[in-house]
Structure 1
Amino acid sequence: MKDIKIEDFKVTEAIQLKNIATAFDLKADKKEIEDELEDVREKLGDFQNTIYAHGKYAVLVCIQGMDTAGKDSMIREVFKDFNTRGIVVHSFKVPTELERDHDYLWRHYIALPARGKFSVFNRTHYENVLVTRVHPSYILGENLPDVNSVDDVNEAFWDKRFEQINNFEKHIAENGTIIFKFFLHLSKDEQKNRLLRRLEKPSKNWKFSPGDLKERKLWDNYQACYEDAINRTSKPHAPWFTIPADDKPTARYIVARILYDTLIQYKDIEEPELDDDILANLDTYIKTLESE
């Protein structure tokens, strides 16, 4: 099976999505890929226990992608071996009335992981520079003091919003949150195939919405907005990774490997040592229990 490197997928310079492949050949069949994924996710599960005991870092995993890119199944398969006490998944949908009464980052800020824990954002704060950029009228629902019409949602507005997002991520990174941002890069043809499967399989029908077809017509707009967002916000402390997503098992394995290969580079993350008094009396405690 072909080995992969983090650098093959990390965005370190300006990209053009049209030049980035949506498929990646691991030189392996589906069974071999799934076996390798099982191995690496078990290692991730073990690492989660260590980071939980260490208690000084948090991990934020952000997953973005077009409809049908495989976000839900990605989360299910990559984090299957995690202890539920150490991970929370947040699926961000249309803001509630309460969320709209706060700034757009508020609902994401309160969902950030505590030290020792993982949070996975299924759709993220980037919806606020993606969906809203394709549909600028949505910004009017935020009831901002300086936005009275769509004309006020101009380039200066987006420049400020990107600056705010960069500042948000820099702040949490400087306070111990390790950030991963994954863009599941799907081809338009593969999205069509997956939408057809949703319509043709009764068990998948519930996932389909007529709105999916309306948004599909805006494919080029979304690609342009994703490209701009990735280029403006991929930073050393909060990098983006473009993940070829046409094949789901391959995409899951790549994401899991990037997570694991990155996290094990933190050599200071280790389980705390036992208190000297406890360590000195371990044999006594063992004998006490064995003598019951």
Structure 2
Amino acid sequence: MRKLLALACLVALYSCSGPSEADLTALAPTETFPDDTFLETATQKRALIVTAHDDDLVGMSGTIAKLQENGWDIKQITFTSESSERDSALVQAAQLIMDDVEFIWKAHDQRRSDFGQTEAPYMPITKADIEKVFNKAELAQLLTQKINDYNPAVIFTMDSEIGGYGHPEHVLVSQLVADLFNAGTIKAERIYQTVYPDSMEDKILKERLTKQLEEWGYPNPYMLALEVYGPEGMPDPTTQVNIQDQAEAKMQFLHSFREEERNTIGQFIPLFQHFSHDVYFKVFDREFFRVISKEQQAQL
């Protein structure tokens, strides 16, 4: 991950003149999906965010801020990182849009030493290899306990197909939560998986990210993920949430991360460091989710 962070710092220098609003608009989503109604009408206002890393919730952070404004109890559980400073920064950032964050497990310590990984840890590996690399049984037991103790109405994760851009730990956590939900092992009414519509995948992850990383001699993990996990990429959204009223809160949250993390975030929420919240989130005014409910379990 340090290699990716260092690369992100270099990529941040990509444009000396600075992007224009036209550059920003060119990356905007073009699709429209049904507006979410469940979150607005839910009577049990309790949400749990389950992620592998501290910054994995940035794509849903506007929705989380919206829920907090509407009186929801919100907590994030995530892996302990290799940096106590990074973890401390998340604790401070979390106060902006939720109630609490809890660090569980250390993914690096749970990697089996007999698995010969040749790629960087953020590069995609097959789901069969994910089964070999991580102690899933231990993590499943821990997640089941934590989720059921918190008793959320809604669980937020990344997508369980390719984990955003292919990081094995993203896939591990999101797929495990989906599997536990499908088996009826964990208590929740719905899972909201943060996803991009096809237009954003194409423009941000396929085109922009590939071009940027190629200039520095690195492969795009997203493109490799399409080979490893399947050519469809992220699952299609089933709903959207308008977050324009949470523009300032989301921008403040994004800027609360350390510089290294901000530069990495900028690869997937492009150009956010170059614009004010009102300009940026006038363009990116929606967040997108694939929603899994009890009725949809058979589709997993």
TM range, normalised to the smaller chain?
Answer: under 0.3
Structure label with greater radius of gyration: 1
Q: Which has the higher contact order (CA 8 A, sep 6+)?
A: 1
TM-score by length of structure 1 reads 0.25
